[in-house]
Amino acid sequence: MSQVDTKGRRWTLWLPLGLFVGFVVLVLFGLFRPAERTVESAMIGKPLPAFDLKAAVPDRPALKSSDFSGGNPRLLNIFASWCLPCAAEAPQLEALRRAGVEIHGVAIRDTPGDLAVFFAKYGNPYSRIGADNVSAIQFAIGSSGVPESFVIDARGVIRYQHIGDIRADQVPLILAKLKEAER
């Protein structure tokens, strides 16, 4: 071996250590960065899957996918009486309803009795409510929890997904998305 050879390779001696340090930094970065826990639906821009649900409560009609066609864009709200954020979301849904938004609800794994108590306490902003006792709608639409809201345009296409409860400061955003869906 010549001397030039060893000199030329000296820096490569540090290469494994450098790679290792880079790897540790990567792991630490992944470890301390808060993980993204929401699962976004891949159905945005696609038509609402066909469904036909029974009425969840006696005083509101049942819900099927064709109820979303024609007229103005609507909000599909997936909720449950046993879900705490859904109760927190109620005033915002009421505000949207007063702003002229038609809101259709799907009650997940719920009973008419529990729903009646829920509505007596928090109000009922829905025009129609379908009962889904096996979360079938959630799988069909790519929703992974309650509450979730979807903007559906008049052609029945899913335009926007809101994961989690709609906060007071997010009402304008939802209204803007509904407006956007008119086009």
Partner 1 sequence: MMRVLLAALALVLAGPVHAQDKLPPAPYAYRQLDDPAQEARAKALMDTLRCLQCQGQAISDSDAPIAGDMRNQVRLRIAQGEDPEAIRAWLIERYGSYVSYKPKVDALTWPLFAAPLAFLTLAVIVLRKRFAKGRVA
Pick the closest to residue 107 from 63, 155, 166, 151 (CA basis).
63
C-beta separation of 87 from 146 below 8 A? no
Q: How far is the CB of 110 from partner 1 (least distance, A)?
A: 7
How many Cα atoms are found within 13 Å in the side-chain-facing hemisphere of 155? 8
For residue 158, the Cα-to-chain-centroid distance in whole angstroms is: 12
Q: Where are the beta strands (DSSP E) in the chain?
A: 52-55, 63-64, 74-79, 103-108, 128-132, 148-152, 158-163
Nearer to partner 1, 86 or 96 (CB): 86
Maximal CA-CA distance, the chain: 92
Q: How far is the CB of 114 from partner 1 (least distance, A)?
A: 7
Contacts with partner 1 by CB under 8 A lie at: 37, 39-43, 80, 82-84, 108-111, 114, 133-136, 138-142, 144-145
Nearer to partner 1, 102 or 110 (CB): 110
Q: How far is the CB of 131 from partner 1 (least distance, A)?
A: 10
Nearer to partner 1, 101 or 106 (CB): 106
Nearer to partner 1, 96 or 106 (CB): 106
Q: How far is the CB of 109 from partner 1 (least distance, A)?
A: 4
